[in-house]
Amino acid sequence: MALFRQASVKNKLILTSVLGSGTALLLVGAVITSYDLVSLRNALVRRMSVQAGIVGANAASALLFNDPESAEATLAALKGDPRILAAGLYTEDRRLFAIYGSEPLNGKRLMEESLSDTRDVHRMRGGRLVLSRSIPFEQRTIGTVVIVSDLQEVTSSMTRDVVIFASVLLISLLLALFISSRLQRDISQPILDLAQTARRVSQEKDYSVRASGERRDEIGTLVTAFNEMLSEIRQQEGELRAAHDRLEQRVAERTVQLQAVNKELEAFSYSVSHDLRAPLRHIAGFAEMLDASCEGLNDGGRRCIQKISQAAGRMGQLIDDLLIFSRMGRSEMQAVTVNLASLLKEVLVEAQPDVKGRVIDWKIEPLPMVSGDRAMLRLVLANLVSNAVKYTGKSASARIEIGVAQDTDREVVIFVRDNGAGFDMTYASKLFGVFQRLHRADEFEGTGIGLANVQRIINRHGGRTWAEGELGRGAVFYFSLPRRLEAAA
């Protein structure tokens, strides 16, 4: 069955025709042969029954007058029929009265068994026919005739019939093979041409070819539908190619625009780092000089000079944060295997000056290995830890937890939880925006760019950022990282 399924359409059609014809002929031959076998056996039984009836009629007087010699003479007349191997004449009390045969009767035991039934019977055993017929006289049975005949005539006839049938079957199969191999071309050739066209389209991606074979049957309908499908695919391919060309042109235009924007950003960064820093340095310097040289200033004047210095410092910090935020979007990522636990230790060491003199309950869980840019991820942890330290500054007993919220085959989720000031979840969408602050500057200092940097870095890694919190009850910040950085693409 597996070989048939893997065969070509041509071979399948030929095999189907030959096997169908052969099966039908075999069935017909088996029926005819069986019928001939039954007919031959019945004819042999009828002939032997006639012979037994003649012998019984001629031997009746010998049985009545107890003349075995006359009975044997009557049985000897059966030698004219070469099919009869032996014969026997039995008395009414089942005693062997006379026998015919050139040698001891091989079927004697079988003939005696047949006498157990007084009815006329015949049996075929061991390639022989054993037939017994009763001898009637004046409405009673005076004896039994038993004839043993060979089945050579039946066997010869059956052998001849089988040879003839096998010859006819072989000739018929060869004829069916010849005819089917000729006629199958009209069916298989269009299908083979269609398969060849489909193979060419699949390998060469040439949708301009067409399958041949204009017919009005189902194969013709299939060929027509296939050609129409190729026409539609070719049309769609042209449209896709045109769309691709347009897309490439737009990408080239956008690339030029992005390059121009990058140049403008570089110019802006240069301007910020040089042109804006210089006036700030002058303001801070002159404020310091004014504070040192003007001894006659009262306390109000000195407070004003101090506010000028603080404002210049905040402006400088804001410029630094803006430069970092701009640089995060343009710098190239260096993907390596990062040990978050080791990275967190470095961040906590750097955060020691900010927590000096404070008592903070740190709960640090083991962190996994991830794939990403080490410097960027370090900035993420630094911002989140710095925020937690800052917003727990007014808590009586500060507590900061850092650990893994979820770890799967695809991503790992890290959390930083504190019991500090918290925030109103109504404004959670503003947390990661640039310059977005949910607390007043006089409560907690900052520029509002740190969380924006966190979100930009995590997005570039293919992860997510979100936060949960409650006013006065602390907050928890989450960020996810894919297990493999290429998964972000």
**How high is the mean pLDDT in each 10-residue block of the chain (489 residues)?**
58 72 81 84 85 85 85 82 82 82 52 51 77 83 84 82 84 78 65 73 72 67 74 80 87 81 64 64 70 69 72 64 58 79 89 80 90 86 87 82 89 91 77 58 56 85 88 89 60
Instruction: Provide the token pair at 425.
Output: 């979840």
Residues 220 and 286 in one domain: yes
Q: Residue 117 in 3-state DSSP?
A: coil
Question: Which of 331, 361, 392 corresponds to the end of one domain?
Answer: 331
CA 207 to each of CA 107, 228, 318: distance values in angstroms, whole numbers, following the listed order: 85, 11, 61
What single DSSP character describes residue 387? Answer: H
Say if 188 falls within a structural domain. Answer: no
Residues 389 and 461 in one domain: yes
Residues 55 and 154 in one domain: yes
Say if 463 falls within a structural domain. Answer: yes
Question: Which of 291, 316, 331 corresponds to the end of one domain?
Answer: 331
For residues 219 and 226, give the distance between their C-alpha atoms in angstroms, rounded to a whole number. 10
Say if 186 falls within a structural domain. Answer: no
Residues 32 and 123 in one domain: yes
Q: Residue 399 in 3-state DSSP?
A: strand
Residues 325 and 450 in one domain: no
Question: What pLDDT shows up at residue 442?
Answer: 46
Domain holding 384, by residue range, is 333-488
Output 276-280 pairs: Cβ under 8 A, ≥24 positions apart: 276/319, 277/316, 277/319, 280/312, 280/315, 280/316, 280/319
Question: Which of 272, 300, 331 corresponds to the end of one domain?
Answer: 331
Question: What pLDDT shows up at residue 489?
Answer: 36
User: Beta strand pairing status for 398-407 and 411-418?
Assistant: antiparallel
Residues 34 and 58 in one domain: yes
Residues 380 and 302 in one domain: no
For residues 147 and 111, give the distance between their C-alpha atoms in angstroms, rounded to a whole number. 8
For residues 116 and 94, give the distance between their C-alpha atoms in angstroms, rounded to a whole number. 9
On whether the CB atoms of residues 118 and 134 are closer than 8 A, the answer is: yes
Residues 417 and 396 in one domain: yes
Q: What is the CATH number of the domain that holds 464?
A: 3.30.565.10
Say if 399 falls within a structural domain. Answer: yes
Question: What pLDDT shows up at residue 109?
Answer: 52
On whether the CB atoms of residues 207 and 230 are closer than 8 A, the answer is: yes
Residue 335, beta-bridge partner list: 373
Question: What pLDDT shows up at residue 1?
Answer: 55
Residue 475, beta-bridge partner list: 418, 469
Say if 199 falls within a structural domain. Answer: no
Residues 209 and 148 in one domain: no
Residues 321 and 390 in one domain: no
Residue given tokens 């691709």 in the structure block: 244
| Number of domains comprising the chain | 3
Question: Whole-model pTM?
Answer: 0.43
Say if 409 falls within a structural domain. Answer: yes
Residues 239 and 289 in one domain: yes
Phi, psi (degrees; rounded to nearest 5) at 336 = -140, 170
Say if 7 falls within a structural domain. Answer: yes
Question: What pLDDT shows up at residue 304?
Answer: 77
Residues 140 and 241 in one domain: no
For residues 394 and 358, give the distance between their C-alpha atoms in angstroms, rounded to a whole number. 10
Q: ∠ CA 365-367-370 to the nearest 5 degrees?
A: 170
Is the Cα torsion angle 205, 207, 208, 212 positive or negative in sign? Answer: positive
Say if 70 falls within a structural domain. Answer: yes
Question: What pLDDT shows up at residue 234?
Answer: 77
Q: What is the CATH number of the domain that holds 63?
A: 3.30.450.20
Q: No. of H helices and E strands in the chain?
A: 13, 12
